[in-house]
């Protein structure tokens, strides 16, 4: 994934950019970057690896070198950015969040148009932000270029551009990610996460619509290209990777997660499948509010039978190696034996993607003396890898636990019945649950239904992207 923050003001915004970008550290673990513009000294830029050192620590020593009244910054799980670009459109900085599935074709088309080169990364691939800039530069204005780039890209692209005149922000064509504007007496900011604005003293002022392009100045903002009517905002914003304090389309993340857990428990009560357990717990950290909602609605007490040790391992997905990530996840889990020994436990996780770490969690709980371990997923079985956002390390849909289990159960024929397997009320759905229980050691397993998830979000289903569960555009 990735996140971004920008600000433009009548005063220096260096600290706003520094802290605003840092507030997006939960969205990426590979690269961080800042670029500040000053009327006299021009652009100042720095990019660092944050794989082993957090953004704030890595950039703190650079603050003395930055000064200016406008700037942008980003956290990225993909390419180094922001980039500084000189073209016929002028000198500007650019940062993007999204994924370009047809990058090879776009690069080939670019060369066929008599362009000569890209600055290749060590992998030989073209930086996706540089490719986006190259598409933009094929048109006569930034607005036309952004529109052209977003139409040409198979995937999505949310764009921030910093020019000497201001900040241009563009939400991706179908609004899969949020772009929010904050405002105070001295200027404006633009952010992925809404709480980053409010914590820095900006009032939430405006949320861009799908595909909308705006220019932001210290005095406010103006729409350069209107929003489209169709939206497909990512449901995982609320389920997993959005920060609890944030609001997207007016819907708070923490409130949604608690409501989601309540709906799961309510459904299980109605179906008579609610297990008799001593404690309900969340698989830290994003599973906790789902679990609180589940506990409240089920009448089962909430507890924390284990906690994460995060001072030195803030995110289990930080290492690039899956083996190392699994080991780190195991090392982070610190048990509370008094809440585990001889107890029947029900855990709620935000999602079950590959299931590699859950097996370790279950073994760890039984090793600590648990009598039973029941698992609930706060979303439906994930059947398809995301092709619109770059937030999963899965290279193939067959790495997904549910999809792989279907293949094991029924071979290629099973791939024709994924909708049935995703529905626990069907015979195939029950077979999926039983097989995963046996594989991961659960005493029972339940998934939130798609209807329940959408009810918890509270946005019309036609405006929410559910591709990873349904495979439907």
Each residue of 440-472: b (16+ CB within 10 Å) or e? bbbbbbbbbbbebbbebbebeeeebbbbbbeee
- Asked if residue 285 has a cis previous peptide bond (ω within 30° of 0), the answer is yes
Element spanning 433, H or E: helix 427-440
Instruction: Scan for tokens 């690069």, then name that residue.
Output: 107
Give the architecture-level CATH label for domain 251-470.
3-Layer(aba) Sandwich (3.40)
Predicted confidence (pLDDT) at residue 122 exceeds the cutoff of 70: no
Predicted confidence (pLDDT) at residue 121 exceeds the cutoff of 60: no
Better-scored residue on pLDDT, 123 or 127: 127
Give me the mean pLDDT over the 18-25 stretch. Answer: 96
pLDDT in tens, 292-301: 999 999 999 9
State which fold the 2-231 domain adopts. Answer: 3.60.20
Tell me the pTM. Answer: 0.91
Q: What is the pLDDT of residue 459?
A: 96
Q: What is the pLDDT of residue 29?
A: 81
pLDDT in tens, 362-395: 988 999 999 999 999 999 999 999 989 876 555 6
Better-scored residue on pLDDT, 220 or 114: 220
pLDDT in tens, 144-168: 999 999 999 999 999 999 999 999 9
Q: What percent of the chain has pLDDT over 90?
A: 76
CA distances to 195, 220, 225 from 175, in Å: 19, 22, 14
pLDDT in tens, 308-366: 776 665 554 455 566 666 666 667 778 899 999 999 999 999 999 888 778 888 988 99
Give me the mean pLDDT over the 27-51 stretch. Answer: 93
Predicted confidence (pLDDT) at residue 286 exceeds the cutoff of 80: yes
Domain boundaries, the chain: 2-231, 251-470
The 3-state DSSP class for residue 91 equals strand
Give bridge partners of residue 5 from the DSSP assignment: 73, 191
């Amino acid at each position: 994934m990735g996140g971004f923050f920008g600000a433009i003001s009548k005063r220096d915004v260096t600290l706003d950019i520094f802290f605003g970008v840092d507030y997006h550290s939960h969205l990426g673990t590979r690269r961080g970057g800042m670029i500040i513009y000053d009327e006299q000294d021009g652009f100042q830029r720095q990019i660092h690896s944050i794989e082993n050192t957090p953004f704030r620590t890595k950039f703190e020593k650079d603050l003395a070198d930055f000064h200016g009244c406008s700037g942008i910054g980003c956290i990225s799980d993909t390419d180094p950015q922001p980039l500084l670009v000189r073209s016929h459109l002028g000198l500007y900085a650019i940062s993007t969040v999204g994924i370009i599935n047809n990058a090879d074709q776009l690069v080939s088309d670019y060369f066929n148009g008599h362009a000569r080169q890209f600055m290749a990364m060590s992998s030989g691939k073209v930086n996706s932000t540089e490719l986006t800039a190259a598409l933009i530069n094929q048109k006569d204005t930034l607005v036309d270029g952004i529109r052209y780039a977003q139409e040409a890209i198979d995937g999505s692209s949310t764009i921030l551009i910093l020019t000497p005149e201001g900040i241009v922000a563009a939400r991706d064509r179908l609004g899969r990610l949020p772009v929010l504007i904050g405002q105070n007496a001295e200027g404006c900011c633009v952010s992925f996460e809404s709480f980053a604005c409010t914590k820095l003293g900006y009032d939430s002022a405006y949320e861009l619509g799908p595909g909308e392009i705006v220019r932001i100045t210290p005095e406010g903002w103006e729409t350069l290209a209107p929003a489209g009517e169709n939206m497909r905002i990512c449901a995982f914003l609320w389920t997993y990777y959005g920060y609890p304090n944030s609001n997207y389309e007016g819907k708070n993340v923490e409130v949604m997660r608690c409501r989601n857990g309540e709906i799961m428990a309510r459904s299980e009560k109605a179906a008579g499948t609610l297990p008799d357990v001593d404690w309900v717990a969340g698989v830290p950290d994003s599973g906790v509010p789902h679990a609180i909602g589940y506990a409240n609605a089920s009448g089962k007490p909430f507890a924390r039978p284990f906690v994460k040790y995060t001072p030195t391992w803030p995110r289990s997905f930080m290492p690039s190696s899956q083996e190392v990530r699994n080991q780190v996840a195991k090392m982070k889990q610190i048990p509370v034996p008094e809440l585990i020994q001889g107890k029947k436990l029900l855990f709620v996780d935000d999602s079950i993607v590959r299931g590699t770490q859950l097996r370790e969690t279950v073994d760890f709980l039984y090793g600590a003396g648990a009598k039973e371990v029941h698992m609930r997923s706060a979303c439906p079985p994930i059947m398809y890898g995301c092709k619109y956002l770059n937030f999963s390390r899965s290279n193939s849909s067959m790495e997904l636990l549910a999809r792989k289990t279907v293949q094991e159960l029924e071979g290629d024929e099973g791939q024709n019945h994924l909708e049935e397997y995703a529905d626990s009320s069907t015979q195939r759905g029950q077979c999926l649950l039983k097989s995963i229980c046996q594989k991961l050691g659960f005493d029972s397993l339940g998934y939130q239904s798609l209807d329940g998830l959408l009810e918890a979000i509270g946005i019309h289903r036609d405006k929410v992207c559910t591709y990873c569960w349904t495979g439907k555009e």
